[in-house]
Amino acid sequence: MDIVLSGIRPTGQLHLGNYFGALRNFVRMQYDAKCYFFIADYHAMTTHTDPAHLHDHVKTILSEYLAAGINPDIATIYVQSDVPQVAELSLLLSMHAYVGELERTASFKDKVRKNPNNVNAGLLTYPVLMAADILLHRATHVPVGKDQEQHLELTRVFARRFNNMYGVDFFPESQPYNFGADLVKIPGLDGTGKMGKSENNGIFLADSDEVIRKKVMRAVTDTGPTEPNSPLSDGVANIFTIMEAVSSPDTIAYFREKYATCEIRYGDLKKQLAEDIIKVVAPIRERIEAIRNDESYLRRVVRDGAEKARESTDRTVSEVRRIMGIRPF
């Protein structure tokens, strides 16, 4: 049976990128595979989260996992820092991770560029910690967005290296996964790159209908096509990309045709997009608050989750210790 694992950093509310890149897949996969979905609080700490807010953010992600439809009786949901084997496997794997390859990781270089005053060792070993998350459960499939592709590639490098080094066939080659399609990158509404928590260009699962409409109506477009079949500007291309995730094929075809024939009205396009986003977000949002306020339920979910997670992580770490030569007296 497939073993699925994935995680999200608790750095704020989840946005549409997190949903279509990761969370929606979690919900769809849980009935067909053994699934582990966790909250990556150690990873969040690499950018120095405020201690006053970390727990609250963990609670937010946990409530959003559950509101989106992850069933804790079927999938295992846990908080990364509740499972000490994560730290141990990360340490053991770091013995075979080369500083050069970690320094070349795109996400590390990006963090160094954006935050030159906080180039900490945790940022450098971020992909090792992530490999530990995945390999602890010997996961075969990892539902993630396109931005995590390189981290998964490194996880496979570490797994192969470990297997070769010790002459074992222990770790699988974990593959990034998107239900029935290529990995996705949901763009922001500001005409640039991807939707992100810190880029201030996102639509959140907790946003009200009114906020969603306002954000979409403000999305960057252009002055409109002047010739049939002219290429899309970045802003308009982004709107169509988000539409691909939320709207029906008929709706998308209709607006593409209107664009190709220069009859498009961006106001209509945005109104339609906003309504289609609301159809996805509203039912989730309505469940978030109630779940978030049910402290005893949340406590039970993470306690049971940590216990279930430890069953497989205990086994993996004991075996890795044995393979690497750590023996009890």
- Enumerate binding residues for ligand TYM (CB under 6 A): 5-9, 17-18, 20-22, 40, 43, 130, 133-134, 142, 144-145, 147-148, 151, 184-186, 194-196
CB nearer ligand TYM, residue 151 or residue 310: 151
Any binding-site annotation on 194?
yes
Any binding-site annotation on 195?
yes
Any binding-site annotation on 284?
no
Least distance (Å) between residue 255 CB and ligand TYM = 21
279 has catalytic annotation: no
CB nearer ligand TYM, residue 6 or residue 316: 6
Q: Catalytic: which of 34, 109, 114, 194?
A: 194
111 has catalytic annotation: yes
Q: Catalytic: which of 185, 197, 271, 308?
A: 197
Any binding-site annotation on 95?
no
Query: Nearest 5°: phi and psi at 326?
Result: -85, 115
Residue whose token pair is 């779940």: 291
Any binding-site annotation on 322?
no
Q: Catalytic: which of 34, 59, 109, 111?
A: 111
CB nearer ligand TYM, residue 205 or residue 269: 205
CB nearer ligand TYM, residue 142 or residue 269: 142
Least distance (Å) between residue 296 CB and ligand TYM = 27
Least distance (Å) between residue 224 CB and ligand TYM = 26
CB nearer ligand TYM, residue 193 or residue 224: 193
Residue 51 exposure: Cα atoms within 13 Å on the Cβ side: 0
197 has catalytic annotation: yes
Any binding-site annotation on 283?
no
Least distance (Å) between residue 285 CB and ligand TYM = 18
Annotate the chain with three-state secondary structure: CCEEEEEECCCCCCEHHHHHHHHHHHHHHCCCCEEEEEECHHHHHCCCCCHHHHHHHHHHHHHHHHHHCCCCCCCEEEEHHHCCHHHHHHHHHHCCCCHHHHHCCHHHHHHHHHCHHHCCHHHHCHHHHHHHHHHHCCCCEEECCHHHHHHHHHHHHHHHHHHHHHCCCCCCCCEEECCCCCCCCCECCCCCCECCCCCCCCCECCCCHHHHHHHHHCCCCCCCCCCCCCCCCHHHHHHHHHHHHHCCHHHHHHHHHHHHCCCCCHHHHHHHHHHHHHHHHHHHHHHHHHHHCCHHHHHHHHHHHHHHHHHHHHHHHHHHHHHHCCCCC
Least distance (Å) between residue 66 CB and ligand TYM = 16
Which residues does the annotation place in the binding site? 9-11, 17-18, 133, 145-147, 186, 194-198
Which residues does the annotation place in the binding site for ATP? 9-11, 17-18, 145-147, 186, 194-198
Which residues does the annotation place in the binding site for L-tryptophan? 133
Catalytically annotated residues: 111, 194, 197
